[in-house]
C-alpha cells in the first residue's frame, strides 16, 4: 500500500479573493490623500498642545504618587 503525501494534490492554492484593478487604484488614491498632513493647519498645533498637556498631567500624577509614597512609607 502506497501513501500519498496529500489528498488534495489538485486543489487550488492561489489567493481566493483578489480585488479588482479599479478597486486597488481607488484605494491607493484614498490612502495617499489620507496620509498627507500639513504642519501649518490649526489641527496640528492643537494636537501638539494637547500632547504637551497630557505629558504634563502624566508627570504631575507620577510626582503626586511619589510624594504620597514618601509620606506613607
- Tens digits of residue pLDDT in 22-59: 667 777 777 766 665 565 677 888 999 999 999 999 99
Q: What is the pLDDT of residue 6?
A: 58
Other residues' Cβ atoms within 10 Å of the Cβ of residue 9: 7
- Domain span at 48: 41-73
Q: Does 61 map to a domain?
A: yes
Query: pTM of the prediction?
Result: 0.44
* pLDDT band with cut points at 50, 70 and 90 for residue 20: low
Domain count of the fold of the chain: 1
Q: Count the residues in the chain.
A: 73
Q: Does 53 map to a domain?
A: yes
Q: Does 10 map to a domain?
A: no
**Cα 66 from Cα 73, distance rounded (Å):** 10
Amino acid at each position: 500500500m502506497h501513501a500519498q503525501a496529500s489528498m488534495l494534490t489538485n486543489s487550488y492554492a492561489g489567493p481566493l479573493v483578489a480585488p479588482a484593478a479599479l478597486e486597488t487604484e481607488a484605494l491607493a488614491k484614498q490612502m495617499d490623500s489620507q496620509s498627507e498632513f500639513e504642519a501649518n493647519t490649526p489641527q496640528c498645533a492643537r494636537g501638539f498642545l494637547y500632547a504637551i498637556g497630557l505629558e504634563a498631567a502624566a508627570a504631575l500624577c507620577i510626582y503626586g504618587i511619589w510624594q504620597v509614597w514618601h509620606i506613607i512609607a
